[in-house]
Amino acid sequence: MIQPQLILLREGTDTSQGKPQLISNINACINIVDMIKTTLGPCGMDKLIHNGRDVNISNDGATIMNLLEIEHPAAKSLVDIARAQDDEVGDGTTSVVVLAGELLKESKQSIEDGIAPQVIIKAFRSALSVAMQTLDNLCVPFPKEKDASHEDLIRCAETALNSKLINTERRFFAEMAMRAVTTLDDDMNLDMIGIKKVTGGSMKDSVLVDGVAFKKTFSYAGFEQQRKKFDNPKVLLLNIELELKAEKDNAEVRLKDPKQYQSIVDAEWKIIFDKLDKCVNSGANVVLSRLPIGDLATQYFADRDIFCAGRVAVDDMNRVALATGGVVQSSLNNVPAEVLGSCQLFEERQVGAERYNFFTGCQNSKTATIILRGGAQQFIEEADRSLHDAICIVKRAIRTGSVVGGGGAIEMELSKVLREYSRTIRGKEQLVISGYARALEIIPRQLAENAGHDSTDNPQQASPERTT
């Protein structure tokens, strides 16, 4: 006898399934897309998002999706695609969400018409492979010579910045993005481009430092007596604490005779002075440490014409190491000359209201720092996100070595090719593929709508009779 199937679910579980659930999931996604699509393109509007405490103004799709704090499980997948696009490419996060929404809208129609989701997925996959082949044929390669491609790279970055708050200065920032990425080595690790934000000043006061710059770290008495500028300095990089207190705190000593206490104190002083002597004897002019450099060490270095900075952030330290060719030391027992870094100029300078340490003119500089300036914190945050998009696009363009037309042109062409392809197919898949082709048109349509144009107007047909 056939046993009846029993499925036990926890109380309160939502058991809705089948077609109505599919449609409801798609509707949730479409609601999110409707919200974000108005930010697409150069005439798209920025969003202001207030979460009770902070206010964020952004045009970046991934940022807006993150800030929306979406709860719906299906709509959350849109956040994931925006995030994946941000990690993988850096730009185009709004486009992927808008496109995904439109594809869902088209599949909703097919589902309502009774086409099985499996058929839709199969047809979408074959449409995708045709679209990818067409893209390969349509892309325009960059010139092969390195310098000749610079102008193209700047134009790519400018296009990415078109839709951003800083678009009035897009040439300035696009050049900066191009120069920053081209200083990197072949693996183009974008962590090697530091972006520092200093409020105050105008946008055009932003600078690209060919080397490393970081904010002055916490300093102790004696720091003011240190020299703040060195030509061709030797740089010693440490992961060691240069503080007297450290020796005291880390040891437990039991004494029988109080007189022995002095010998312990002497030993502690000897240890720290030994370390400091080794730093001085290494021939370094600048000593940086990831860990604190205390007041004793600061004064000791000041007396010997050495600059020091403790508590340097890990990423800044790594970039100094890379730029100057130094090696971070965890012990001072043996410091050969090769582990010292070098650059043409070290300087501590005022930037806005902050003091900054600059290491410039590094021979094997594979790192750059951008110091962003601007009136308001909000503005600098958005400028940072926009510049990140432009930098990612330059990197991507160098990697792929080719571009396709923007402004919805490539989407229209793909749509046309897919429509023709769909006509060669029989059955339900033809409907689905032509739906895919229609979905691609959302990009030019939305760009036109955001710019205040009628997306169904055909400018070539717009004759004078029609307008009068």
Q: Per-residue contact track with ligand ATP, 156 to 195, x per CB under 6 A?
A: ---x--xx--------------------------------
What secondary structure, in 3-state letters, does 200-239 show?
ECCHHHCEEECEEEEECCCCCCCHHHCCCEEECCEEEEEC
* One-character DSSP codes across 262-328: HHHHHHHHHHHHHHHHHHHHTT-SEEEESS-B-HHHHHHHHHTT-EEE-S--HHHHHHHHHHHT---
Distance CA 38, CA 21 (A): 27
User: Of the candidates 95, 149, 289, 415, which one interacts with ligand ATP according to CB under 6 A?
Assistant: 95
Annotation marks residue 60 as catalytic: yes
Stretch that binds ligand ATP, among 155-163, 199-207, 216-224, 252-260 (CB under 6 A): 155-163
Element (H, E) at 50: strand 47-50
| # binding residues, Mg ion (CB under 5 A) | 1
Q: How far is the CB of 160 from ligand ATP (least distance, A)?
A: 6
Residue number with CB closer to ligand ATP (159 or 357): 159
Phi, psi at residue 43, to the nearest 5°? -100, 5
Q: How far is the CB of 96 from Mg ion (least distance, A)?
A: 11
User: Of the candidates 26, 28, 33, 41, which one interacts with ligand ATP according to CB under 6 A?
Assistant: 41
Residue number with CB closer to Mg ion (37 or 438): 37
435 interface partner picked from Mg ion, ligand ATP, none, CB below 5 to 8 A per type: none
Q: How far is the CB of 346 from ligand ATP (least distance, A)?
A: 37
Residue number with CB closer to ligand ATP (279 or 448): 448
What one-letter code names the amino acid at 328?
Answer: V
User: Of the candidates 29, 33, 47, 61, which one interacts with ligand ATP according to CB under 6 A?
Assistant: 61
Q: Does 316 bind Mg ion (CB under 5 A)?
A: no
CB hemisphere CA count around 366 (13 angstroms): 14
Residue number with CB closer to Mg ion (160 or 276): 160
Q: Are 437 and 150 in contact (CB under 8 A)?
A: no
Residue number with CB closer to ligand ATP (241 or 411): 411
Distance CA 62, CA 91 (A): 9
> Given 39, 63, 91, 93, which residue is catalytic?
93
**Class of residue 406 by CB neighbours under 10 A (exposed 0-12, middle 13-18, buried 19+):** middle
What secondary structure, in 3-state letters, does 91-102 show?
CCHHHHHHHHHH
User: Of the candidates 91, 152, 243, 316, which one interacts with Mg ion according to CB under 5 A?
Assistant: 91
How many helices, marked H, and strands, marked E, lie in the chain?
16, 15
> Given 63, 94, 367, 369, which residue is catalytic?
94
Q: How far is the CB of 375 from ligand ATP (least distance, A)?
A: 23
Q: Does 406 bind ligand ATP (CB under 6 A)?
A: yes
Q: Are 99 and 444 in contact (CB under 8 A)?
A: no
Annotation marks residue 183 as catalytic: no
Q: Are 247 and 271 in contact (CB under 8 A)?
A: yes
443 interface partner picked from Mg ion, ligand ATP, none, CB below 5 to 8 A per type: ligand ATP
Q: How far is the CB of 408 from ligand ATP (least distance, A)?
A: 6
Q: How far is the CB of 183 from ligand ATP (least distance, A)?
A: 24
Applying the rule CB under 6 A, the residues between 427 and 446 that interact with ligand ATP are 443
Tokens of 389: 């998009």
Cα angle for residues 97, 103, 109 (degrees, 5° grid): 140
Q: Does 60 bind Mg ion (CB under 5 A)?
A: no
Distance CA 38, CA 24 (A): 23
Q: Are 134 and 413 in contact (CB under 8 A)?
A: yes
Q: How far is the CB of 164 from ligand ATP (least distance, A)?
A: 7
Positions in the binding site for ligand ATP (CB under 6 A): 39-42, 44, 59-61, 91-95, 159, 162-163, 389, 406-407, 443, 447
Positions annotated as catalytic residues are 60, 93-94, 389
